[in-house]
Amino acid sequence: MYRGFEFWIGNRYVRSRSSDNFVSLISAISILGIAIAVAVLIIVLSVVNGFDRELRERLLTMTAHGNIEAVDGELGDWAALSAKAMRNPRVRAAAPYVSGQSLLVIGERLSGVEMRGIDPAAEALVSGVESVMTEGQLDSLGGGKFNIILGVELANALQAGIGDKVTVILAQGIVTPAGIMPRTKRFTVSGLYRVGMFEYDRRLAFINIQDAQRLYRMGDAVTGVRLAVTDIYDAAAIVYEVAHEPGENVFPMHWQRRHFNFFRSIQITKSILSVILFLVVAVAAFNIVSTLVMVVKDKQSDIAILRTIGARPSSIVRIFVTQGSIIGIVGTLFGVLAGILLALNLEGIVSFFESSFGIKLLAADVYFISDLPADLHVTDVVKIALSALMMALLSTVYPAWMAARIAPAEALRYD
């Protein structure tokens, strides 16, 4: 017999009409199940990839690629260290900084923050702080001006704006006849920034490095030197190469080590979600088993007639493998298309629902990132599609084998 009839019959069973509405209904349910499972898996993995990308970019905006700090907290010969770092061809820029803890006070409102003293010109070369300024300019932090730049969340908490005076209180006190009194200094707010991570927008403030040295009584010393390297994924080797030269008593740190827990948790989450959602795809794919079993039961007389007119058992197997494969292919294609479209427009969809219903899906004070990013990877889509197709194909084996074993005489006995 002509082999094309196997594909024709299998395709006909998928889109049966009239008296066979039940067959087409369960086929449609199977297709919908696979499509939903594939789409959800693509969207979820895209969101996890988006979190990884956004977290990395926003962290690097504020933390630079690497830091070299003094073991005792004060790096005196930082200029020589910076010059030595710049002689390394894999280092793009170096900038000194001073870091310390303090308390900001405006009226009755106060907040603990990390104060970071920077050289605005050098800082612009090692980080992206200048690119996230929403008001004011980074170069407003002139030496001796005692200006301060706040994150938008910190400014909102203090109800501070451009030009307002902020009192900085340090834990290092002054000994007086009345006892130890905290040291204070008034700064003027000259700028606001928003990086989109609550940890920084609420907890970090910038001042000029000279003001920070005077504030923390460090003289000409700094806390450390920040580095920008040519290859961020090789930052560890580059920073250690600079820091571990003979005679240096410093502590090196790179962005991957400083934020290891963040990225490790994202990778673990992605792995766990992948396994769980692949099981969802497997459940949807193996729904084809029940679909084909019911079709086989419903089409026993058809199978018997085909056998009596010369169809081989292998032809019966091909018919039901074809039906299951069509269900798997169509469901996977619809799922891939839906997943890609939703992943590419996810931020807009989320914004629409947030504005329509007045809700916030990601609270800034709970999550590191207040947006819901999505980063679609072609490799993820290909892996998901191939896995779904393979599971759908495997799901056809048992029902097809069961159909091939139907005895024509037994099936037609009561017809």
Q: What pLDDT band is residue 311 in, cutting at 50, 70 and 90?
A: low
Please tell me the predicted confidence (pLDDT) of residue 326: 82
> Residue 18: its pLDDT value, please?
45
- Tell which residue, 316, 318, 335, has the closest CA to residue 386: 335
pLDDT tens digits along 238-261: 888 887 765 557 788 877 777 666
Please state, for a pLDDT cut of 70, what percent of the chain lies above it: 78
Q: Return the structure tokens found at 239.
A: 């920073």
Q: Which is higher by pLDDT, 409 or 119?
A: 119
Q: pLDDT confidence of 2, banded at 50, 70, 90?
A: very low
Ranked by mean pLDDT, the top range of 7-21, 31-45, 245-259, 356-370 is 31-45
Between 228-232, 303-307, 326-330, the lowest mean confidence (pLDDT) is in: 303-307
Give the model confidence (pLDDT) of 379-414 as tens digits: 889 988 888 888 888 888 777 777 666 666 555 555
pLDDT at 301: 67
Residues with Cβ within 8 Å of residue 308, at least 6 apart in sequence:
408, 412
Rounded mean pLDDT, 114-119:
91
DSSP structure string for 334-388:
HHHHHHHHHHHTHHHHHHHHHHHHT--SS-TTTSSBSS------HHHHHHHHHHH
Amino acid identity for residue 388 in this structure: A
Say whether pLDDT at 352 is over 70.
yes
pLDDT at 341 (0 to 100): 92
Which residues are CB-neighbours of 86 under 8 A, at least 6 positions away? 93, 94
Residue-wise pLDDT for 130-171, tens only, equals 888 999 888 888 888 899 999 998 999 999 889 999 999 887
- For residues 45-65, average pLDDT: 79
Segment 177-195 shows an average pLDDT of: 80
Q: How confident is the model at residue 30 (pLDDT cuts 50, 70, 90)?
A: confident
Q: Provide the strand spans (E) within 194-297.
A: 204-208, 224-229, 250-254
Q: Averaged over 53-74, what is the pLDDT?
A: 78
Per-residue pLDDT at 366: 53
Considering only residues 28 and 187, tell me which one the structure prediction assigns the higher pLDDT.
187
What's residue 192's pLDDT?
A: 94
The whole-number pLDDT of residue 147 equals 93
Please, which residues have CB within 8 angstroms of residue 361's CB and are 6 or more apart in sequence?
350, 353, 354, 372
User: pLDDT confidence of 333, banded at 50, 70, 90?
Assistant: very high
Q: Give the 3-state secondary structure percentages of the chain, helix then strand then coil, rounded to 5.
A: 55, 20, 20
pLDDT for 206 equals 94
pLDDT at 360: 66
**Residue 82 above 50 pLDDT?**
yes
- The average pLDDT across 218-224 equals 88
The Cβ of residue 281 has, within 10 Å, a number of other Cβ atoms equal to: 24
Alpha-carbon distance of 342 to 43, in angstroms, equals: 7
pLDDT greater at residue 350 or residue 210 = 210
Which tokens in the block code for residue 296?
């086989």
Q: Look at residue 208 in the predicted model and tell me its pLDDT.
A: 93
Residue 226, amino acid: R
Q: Answer whether residue 310 shows pLDDT above 80.
A: no
The average confidence (pLDDT) of the chain is 79
361 vs 30 pLDDT, higher one = 30
- pLDDT exceeding 90 applies to what percent of the chain? 13
Q: What confidence category does residue 8 fall into, taking pLDDT thresholds of 50, 70 and 90?
A: low
Q: Mean pLDDT: which of 1-5, 29-33, 36-40, 263-267 is highest?
A: 36-40
Does position 205 have pLDDT exceeding 90, yes or no? yes
- Joined tokens for residue 370: 């207040």
| pLDDT score of 34 | 86
What phi and psi values does residue 118 have, to the nearest 5 degrees?
Answer: -135, 160
What are the beta bridge partners of residue 94? 227
